[in-house]
Amino acid sequence: MQKKIHLKNRDRIYELALESKGVHHRLSIKEPSMPETTIQADASLQADQAFLTTQQGRFVCAVAQDANGIWVGCQGHVEYFEIERKVVHKKTEAKADNELRAPMTGRVISVRVQPGQTVQAGDVVAILEAMKMEFRIEAPYAAQIEKVTCRQGDLVDLGQVLVTLGAPLVAQNKK
Amino acid sequence: MFKKILVANRSEIAVRIFRTLRELGIQSVAVYSEPDAQAPHVLAADDAVLIGPAPARESYLKISAILDAARKTGAQAIHPGYGFLSENSSFAQACEQAGIAFIGPTADSMRKLGDKRAARETAQQLGVPTVPGVNECDTSEQIRAAVHQVGLPILLKASAGGGGKGMRLIHQESELDEAIQASQREALSAFGDSRLMVEKFVSPARHIEVQLLSDAHGNVIALGERECSLQRRYQKIIEESPSAAVSSELREKIQEAACKLARATGYRNAGTAEFLLGPDGNFYFLEVNTRLQVEHPVTECVTGLDLVRKQIEIAAGEKLSLQQKDILLRGHAIEARLYAEDPSNRFLPTTGKILKLRWPTLPGVRIDSGIREGQEILTHYDPLLAKVIAWGLDREQARQRLIQALRETVLLGLVTNQSFLVQLLEDDSFKNGKTFIHTVESTMWDDPEEEWKEPMLLTAALALSSRTQRDRNARAEDRVMSKDPHSPWESLGRWRMLG
């Protein structure tokens, strides 16, 4: 029996097909930016650990699942694989770069801009605080501020949109 | 000796202090904020008192609440740990006035040494070299004038405390306005004091610090040095003792400078004098930390002493039982700080729930941990999760052991700097002892993911497919067992009795 699984890790989506026969497993891996590969391994999964013997060598990996995916730790290296449930028709969801997002969970301590205002590249639009450190959110290019979706004092989550920019402004004298 | 001690702190350092209290047979009291009710430090104490909501200002920094907790539980002394109130002289004074022993220096000597400006002046009077700079900067005009006097590049620092809070490196005049405002805000938010100092930027420099012990009877000894050059955003990540760059001759000189400062100010407690070691072998005094340091375990490993125990004995008025000639440094120890942060996203703090946690048991390895499985890591406090410390007969053995310990550590559920620490320790610059304060930030670190990709993907696929299968079986089983599909038990999922 073959099982198909789609996993997302570091902005890449892997299309996996797993075939198992007892302890023998065969996994084919498809990912748009790399050639299709297949690995074979003898493996067993006991409680929260997988013991693998592949051509590369022997590995012991720890696993833990949460609501959206699975954490795998191997020799001090840890990755999170998010389960992609509706991958087939969905294009990679490109994050719009006109949306300035919170780089971490924290508190907004200052909002420096208002809708309609023009900012230059590098201008600070908002300041976040977490763990007593400040992080400045800067405009990546010159633009007019379209929307401000945070207020001073707000607690924001990682990835939450704080400020939305309009189209990049091109210098007037350039033709 | 005290019969009961309250620890005004949380996480790994509180847990570590409770361990020593248990060893000494002293009763212990924890204080905690609302989200910390089930935190490891609360579980490690004999008694625990809720002192307020999550924000530190309303709990771990709230002097009145902590003193109330001490009175209520009959604690005779308070250990402040590091951070929070540990370098707050008003707190030390409030303890003195309440008749509760503060395990640290007197409020008076804390003011003299803990304030960076005052400490610099004291050092200059004693002939201990300092980095060129200006101490007196309350307003932005004063800061600007100081910058012109010292010359760029400069470092802006909070006068009131350490930990990298409020610190900014400035290369260009144009960065100054923004940096002054941000530093003042950070300093105010972290220490309640917005004063700043301006310092010449020495590069490439090493961070060297001397561990001191001083009792109330004027005895001062030095316990060797630590090197803490590997930092990111001015926060240390890897520390070791001794330093690969310090000869026994240099050690003697730096130790003497540090002891001089402690003697001249009548210092009492464990303490750390921090220095910059320039490329020319000259050292410059930076500041004194009038408290226990995060990285104190490496000194404990090479000296065999328990610094918390010494702090308690000193606060109880006992005389140091050791003299300088009794201090022998044996072998080498390295500490790695495991942080909830993402090295691939500018080391920004991360959050999450610890789903799986397993520490290695290896010879010469010590774990100072403040976390447990099932715990939610939030952004209210410092992102330090635990410290992994390895001792070896020489530096190379300590390094190899630490790498092995980090590789065998299992911590799943949130992004941490675990594999980045391994990468740093394996890097040639660290292996050869060529570590400078800006090594971490000026090096391009490759993404190390690739070699693990295939086995990890296979593991994920195996775990997911076997779980799907198991869940499917479980659901089928539940349907058979449940007679009423609308029963609330139906939506409960699988469960089992424990014990």
pLDDT digits (tens, 9 = 90+) for A85-94: 765 444 444 4
Tell me the pLDDT band of B499, cut-offs 50, 70 and 90: very low
**Average pLDDT of the segment spanning B319-328:** 96
Q: Which of B185, B455, B468 faces A54 most closely, judged by CB atoms?
A: B455
Q: Report how many domains make up chain B.
A: 4
Quote the pLDDT of residue B324: 97
Number of Cβ within a 10 Å radius of residue B405: 23
Structure letter (DSSP) for residue A160? -
Q: Using the predicted structure, report yes or no on whether residue B442 has a pLDDT greater than 90.
A: no
Q: Which of A27, A75, A79 faces B407 most closely, judged by CB atoms?
A: A75
- One domain for residues B465 and B438: no
CA nearest neighbour of B352 among B431, B270, B412, B311? B412
Tell me the pLDDT band of B491, cut-offs 50, 70 and 90: very low
Answer whether B160 touches A (CB < 8 Å): no
A76 to chain B nearest CA, in Å? Answer: 4
Contact call for B463 and A63, based on CB within 8 A: yes
B465 to chain A nearest CA, in Å? Answer: 7
A83 contact residues in B (CB cutoff 8 A): 464
* Domain stop point among B200, B223, B243: B200
Quote the pLDDT of residue B490: 44
**Average pLDDT of the segment spanning B400-428:** 96
Contact call for B459 and A74, based on CB within 8 A: yes
- One domain for residues B154 and B251: no
- One domain for residues B298 and B396: yes
The label of the residue with tokens 């002289």 reads: B89
Kindly compute the dihedral angle of the four CA atoms of residues B442, B444, B449, B452, in this order, to the nearest 10 degrees. Answer: -90
Quote the pLDDT of residue A156: 87
The label of the residue with tokens 């009038």 reads: B290
Give the residue, B57 or B165, on which the prediction is more confident: B57
User: Residue B121: inside a domain, yes or no?
Assistant: no
- One domain for residues B223 and B260: yes
Could you state, in order of their start, the residue ranges of all structural domains in chain A?
2-83, 99-168
User: Residue B110: inside a domain, yes or no?
Assistant: no
B189 contact residues in A (CB cutoff 8 A): 129, 132
Contact call for A78 and B416, based on CB within 8 A: yes
Contact call for A63 and B460, based on CB within 8 A: yes
B186 contact residues in A (CB cutoff 8 A): 132-134
**Would you state the structure tokens that stand for residue B381, as one six-digit string?**
């406090």
B407 contact residues in A (CB cutoff 8 A): 75-76
Kindly compute the dihedral angle of the four CA atoms of residues A101, A107, A109, A113, in this order, to the nearest 10 degrees. Answer: 20
* Domain stop point among B200, B223, B255: B200
For residue B23, the enclosing domain spans 4-103
- Summarised one tens digit per residue, pLDDT across range B262-279 is 999 999 999 999 999 998
Answer whether A105 touches B (CB < 8 Å): yes
Answer whether A121 touches B (CB < 8 Å): no
Q: Spelled out in words, what is the top-level CATH class assigned to the domain A99-168?
A: mainly beta
High-pLDDT (> 70) share of chain A, %: 89
Quote the pLDDT of residue B116: 78
Where does B359-424 show beta strands of DSSP type E?
365-369, 376-377, 384-392, 410-412
B452 Cα distance to chain centroid: 31
- One domain for residues B179 and B244: no
Quote the pLDDT of residue A89: 44
Using only C-alpha atoms, chain B has a radius of gyration, in whole angstroms, of 24
Pairwise CA distance, residues A141 & A122, whole Å: 7
CATH of the domain at B157: 3.30.1490.20
What is the predicted ipTM?
A: 0.82
User: Residue B120: inside a domain, yes or no?
Assistant: no
- Summarised one tens digit per residue, pLDDT across range B342-380 is 998 888 999 999 999 999 999 999 999 999 999 999 988
Q: Using the predicted structure, report yes or no on whether residue B449 has a pLDDT greater than 70.
A: no
Quote the pLDDT of residue A173: 45
Contact call for B460 and A37, based on CB within 8 A: no
Tell me the pLDDT band of B132, cut-offs 50, 70 and 90: confident
Answer whether B448 touches A (CB < 8 Å): yes
Q: Using the predicted structure, report yes or no on whether residue B176 has a pLDDT greater than 60.
A: yes
B351 Cα distance to chain centroid: 18
Quote the pLDDT of residue B448: 59
- One domain for residues B279 and B408: yes
Q: Which of B25-34, B405-414, B440-449 has the lowest mean pLDDT?
A: B440-449
Tell me the pLDDT band of B440, cut-offs 50, 70 and 90: confident
Tell me the pLDDT band of B480, cut-offs 50, 70 and 90: low
Give the residue, B135 or A30, on which the prediction is more confident: A30
- One domain for residues B71 and B142: no
Answer whether B188 touches A (CB < 8 Å): no
Q: What is the number of alpha carbons within 13 Å of residue B57 lying toward its C-beta? A: 7
Q: Which of A3-12, A73-82, B16-25, B185-194 has the lowest mean pLDDT?
A: B185-194
Instruction: List, in order, residues 6 or more apart from B77 with CB less than 8 Å away.
Output: B2, B4, B5, B6, B100, B101, B102, B103, B312, B315, B316
Answer whether B139 touches A (CB < 8 Å): no
Contact at 8 Å (CB) between A41 and A28? no
- Mean predicted lDDT score pLDDT of chain A: 86
- Mean predicted lDDT score pLDDT of chain B: 90
When mean pLDDT is compared over A54-58, A120-124, B32-36, B343-347, the highest value belongs to B32-36
Structure letter (DSSP) for residue B264? H
User: Residue B316: inside a domain, yes or no?
Assistant: yes
Tell me the pLDDT band of A95, cut-offs 50, 70 and 90: low
**Average pLDDT of the segment spanning B206-218:** 97
Answer whether A169 touches B (CB < 8 Å): no
- One domain for residues B193 and B159: yes
Proportion of chain B in helix, strand, coil states, percent, rounded to 5: 40, 25, 35
B496 Cα distance to chain centroid: 40
- One domain for residues B349 and B463: no
**Average pLDDT of the segment spanning B143-164:** 84
Number of Cβ within a 10 Å radius of residue B160: 23
B465 contact residues in A (CB cutoff 8 A): 3, 5, 18, 20
Where does B34-182 show beta strands of DSSP type E?
47-52, 77-79, 101-102, 133-134, 154-158, 168-170
Quote the pLDDT of residue A102: 87
A36 contact residues in B (CB cutoff 8 A): none
Tell me the pLDDT band of B48, cut-offs 50, 70 and 90: very high
- One domain for residues B182 and B218: no
Number of Cβ within a 10 Å radius of residue B230: 26
Answer whether A13 touches B (CB < 8 Å): no
CA nearest neighbour of B465 among A12, A119, A26? A26
- Summarised one tens digit per residue, pLDDT across range A138-175 is 888 889 999 999 999 888 888 889 999 988 887 544 43
Contact at 8 Å (CB) between A16 and A39? no
- One domain for residues B218 and B339: yes
User: Residue B149: inside a domain, yes or no?
Assistant: yes
Contact call for A74 and B381, based on CB within 8 A: no
- Summarised one tens digit per residue, pLDDT across range B275-320 is 999 988 899 999 999 999 999 999 999 999 999 999 999 999 999 9
Angle at B126 between CA B124 and CA B130, to 5 degrees: 35
Give the residue, A94 or B86, on which the prediction is more confident: B86
Give the residue, A160 or B484, on which the prediction is more confident: A160
User: Residue B209: inside a domain, yes or no?
Assistant: no
Q: Spelled out in words, what is the top-level CATH class assigned to the domain A2-83?
A: alpha beta
User: Residue B45: inside a domain, yes or no?
Assistant: yes
CATH of the domain at B252: 3.30.470.20
- One domain for residues B300 and B417: yes
User: Residue B472: inside a domain, yes or no?
Assistant: yes
